[in-house]
Structure 1
Amino acid sequence: MTARIEENRSHPRLPDLLAAYHLVNQAEKGTAVESADRLPAVYRAEVEDPAGAFADDTVLLGTPPGADLPAGCVVLKAPYEGRAPEIKRLWVAPEARRKGLAKALMTEALRRAAASGALAVRLTVWNWREEPLALYRALGFETVASWDERPDLVCLEKPFDVIERLTPDAVRTHAVTGLAALLVDAVDSGASVGFLAPLAAHQAAAWWTRVADEAAEGVRDVWAAHGPDGGLTGVVTLVRAGTANGGHRGEIARLLVHRSARGRGLGYRLLATAEAHAAASGLTLLVLDTQADSPAERLYRGAGWTAAGTIPDFAADPAGILRATTLYYKRLG
């Protein structure tokens, strides 16, 4: 089971979560107050009327697996004056911690910020908050020059990988370098993507060269993610059905994210990019298959895909061991 993340700035549980956040924050700053009605006016306004205080922002609430009520929240502030959007008010109730809820909230906030077209997202955190700092750094945030001069406040920013559709020529150009490296990395890390380990770089490059030919024929579309340094960090392809009665259908294939870029929502972004293009080009149904009980299943289920069934011993993993495969589908529109 996974945490449930929802957007709702009017949820009746939100004032309590914000109050708890601000009361702890005031205490840590050495300016403790006894109750929410004694908070500074700007924070008290958030507690009393979250919908009004965050009218232009995205407010996410997280409910732990098996629970009925949200136990955490985070706010993605709308960008202004050309600045990157900012993440604020990340809070998880003490009894719900160490269950992945903070990471789930942050991952969804990052996904939404990236989907909005932002080139980066930023936040601030007190330097004594070691656990949140560790989470932010694990999600790819880096310390930057301060935009807030309060002592002990650390300013962090995360640049987003840029996703672009590759032309057939671009696929050929990247085949022997970035794309081949992504495929080799996936096989080396145990992903069942049609190859046995060890996969030689020239074999991976040859496969991508064939993909370039398919792209030129209009059979397959390819999107790649570029990191801040220009290197490829992920890729996804969309294959169109080749039969006359399957023109409405496409297949998601080879969704790969380099190990160095995992856990930051890039897989969701690549998948969403391919889905959006499929819908815009008139496809109404997508399918895919993935190794049963693999981490990829969590991604697809979280993105709204439905499991159609599992086939035992369908394909060998990179070590040559036969594994079950689960078939998934998603209706578009």
Structure 2
Amino acid sequence: MTARIEENRSHPHLPALLTAYHLVNQAEKGAAVATAAELPAGYRAEAEDPAVAFAADTVLLATPPGSDGPAGCVVLKAPREGRVPEIKRLWVAPEARRKGIAKALMAEALRRAAAAGAPAVRLTVWNWREEPLALYRGLGFGAVASWDDRPDLLCLERRLDVIERLDPDAVRAHAPAGLAALLVDAVDGGASVGFLAPLEAAEAAAWWSGVAEEAARGVRDVWAAHAPDGRLTGVVTLVRAGTANGRHRGEIARLLVHSSARGRGLGQRLLATAEAHAAATGLGLLVLDTQTGSPAERLYRGAGWTAAGTIPDFAADPAGALRPTTLYYKRLG
């Protein structure tokens, strides 16, 4: 199970998390102090009253499963003076590390920045902090020209994929290349998405052409993620129930993230986009199915979906072997 992420700059555990962060940071810089009261004024203000210090910013906390309080935090600074938002104060308590908490916090911060329309996110990190550096680079951050002249401080930035809803014409336009490539990549990677391997690009494009017709009839909504260079990096669709007694529900289908773009929270962002649209358009219940034991299950469980049951031998994987499928649902609102 993944950590529960919440936004709360007034959480009673937050001062202790920020104090621990700053004490370790001061020690690493060779200016160790013993208590929050001895920190430099700006850091002391954050530790003593984060609600005031971060009044304009987004403060996220992560609580591990079975824990009674947050074990990690991160701050997404609001963009100022035309700059892109900046990630600060990423901290996970030592006893809670190597459980994916830092990555989960970063993924949620990136998702929120993208949802707010930010073209990029930036951060700074000391060049001796090898583990955070590995995390940031794995999330797609790269070195950029420095905006902070402190020695040994690296300035990193990541351009954000943009998620947009595709109208039927856009689905048709992307079907032969970008959308087909996403489907072929998923099947090549072993995902059970309705096709056997090898999947030809022409067959994948034909399937997406059919989706365009469903979009034109109002049966299916489609969202795609675009990388800064224009490539499609992910897609998700929402299928609306066609029966009179099922108009309150929809199905999440074909949530795909290209193998080159995984591990950056894009699947979570695509899913959240479809869920928000479903709720805004009056749907109260969503369902989906996914191969039991697949990586997608972690995504859905972490996003608050509930497993309703498992059906054995429900569908063949791309290699032709019958696999079980787990059904999930999520109530909206």
Alignment TM-score > 0.5, same fold: yes
- In the TM superposition, 1:158-237 aligns within 5 A as 158-237=158-237
What residue in structure 2 maps to residue 268 of structure 1?
268
- Matched letter for residue 289 of structure 2: D
Code of the aligned partner of 2:15: P
Q: 1:97 Cα shift?
A: 1.6
- In the other structure, the counterpart of 2:89 is 89
Instruction: Give the superposition deviation at 1:10.
Output: 2.1
Aligned length: 333
Summarize the alignment of residues 11-22 of structure 1 with structure 2, pairs less than 5 Å apart. Answer: 11-22=11-22
Stretch moving more, 64-73 or 265-274:
64-73
Q: TM-score, normalised by structure 2?
A: 0.96
Cα distance in 2 for residues equivalent to 1:123 and 1:132: 11
Report the AA paired with residue 94 of structure 2: P
Secondary structure, in 3 states, of the residue corresponding to 1:318? coil
Whether 1:29 aligns to 2:29 is yes
Residue-by-residue CA offset, 1:62-110 (whole Å, 9 max, x unaligned): 2233333322211111122221111101111222221211111111111
Runs of 4+ in 1 over 4 A off after TM superposition: none
Q: Secondary structure at the match of 1:308?
A: strand
Within-5 A mapping of 1:41-80: 41-80=41-80
So what's the TM-score if we normalise by structure 1? 0.96
Is the deviation greater in 132-141 or in 7-16?
7-16
1:143 aligned partner: 143
1:8 CA drift (Å): 2.1
How far, CA to CA, are the matches of 1:35 and 1:279 in structure 2? 47
Q: Provide the secondary structure at the position in 2 that maps to 1:296.
A: helix
Deviation at 1:284, TM superposition (A): 2.1
CA distance in 2, matches of 1:217, 1:5: 37
CA distance in 2, matches of 1:168, 1:307: 32
* Alpha-carbon separation, structure 2, partners of 1:121 and 1:111: 10
Amino acid at match of 1:255: L
Instruction: Name the residue aligned to 1:279.
Output: 279
CA displacement at 1:315 relative to structure 2: 0.8
* Alpha-carbon shift at residue 7 of structure 1 (Å): 2.0
Q: CA deviation at 1:288?
A: 1.0
Structure 1 counterpart of 2:170, one-letter code: A
- Taking structure 1 as reference, are residues 4 and 284 closer, same or farther at Cα in structure 2, changes over 3 Å only? closer
**2-structure distance, mates of 1:286, 1:63:** 26
**Equivalent position amino acid for 1:283 in 2:** L
Structure 2, unaligned runs of 5 or more: none
Who is 1:114 aligned against?
114
Secondary structure of the corresponding residue to residue 12 of structure 2: coil
Match of residue 296 from structure 1? 296
- How far the C-alpha of 1:267 sits from its partner, in A, is 0.8
Q: What RMSD in Å do the two structures reach over aligned CA positions?
A: 1.4
Whole-angstrom CA distance in 2 between matches of 1:246 and 1:17: 46
Deviation at 1:179, TM superposition (A): 0.5
Letter in 2 for 1:58: T
Post-superposition offset of 1:35: 2.2
1:280 to 1:66, Cα distance in 2 relative to 1, 3 A = closer
Using the alignment, how far apart are the partners of 1:163 and 1:137 within structure 2? Answer: 22
Whole-Å separation in 2 of the counterparts to 1:261 and 1:14: 32
Does residue 8 in structure 1 map to residue 8 in structure 2? yes
Q: Is the 8 A contact 2:3 2:302 kept in 1?
A: no
User: How far apart in 1 are the matches of 2:192 and 2:144?
Assistant: 38
1:182-233 CA distance string (max 9 Å, x none): 0010011111100111111111111111111211222111111100110000
Distance 2:224 2:167 in 1: 11
- Gaps of at least 5 residues in structure 1 are none
Structure 2 CA distance, aligned partners of 1:164 and 1:11? 34
2:126 is the alignment partner of 1:126:
yes
Cα separation, partners in 2 of 1:13 and 1:281, compared to 1, 3 Å: closer
Distance of aligned partners of 1:280 and 1:71 in 2 relative to their CA distance in 1, 3 Å threshold: closer
1:149 match: secondary structure: coil
Who is 1:305 aligned against? 305
Aligned residue for 1:317?
317
Instruction: Determine the structure 2 residue equivalent to 1:331.
Output: 331
Residue of structure 1 in register with 2:156 after alignment = 156
User: Which secondary structure state, in structure 2, belongs to the residue aligned with residue 304 of structure 1?
Assistant: coil
Which residue identity lines up with residue 171 of structure 1 in the other structure? V
Cα deviation code 1:249-285 (max 9, x no counterpart): 2111101000111111111111121122222222222
Q: Which amino acid in 2 is paired with 1:164?
A: E
Distance in 2, Cα, partners of 1:43 & 1:157: 23
The residue type equivalent to 2:137 in the other structure is R
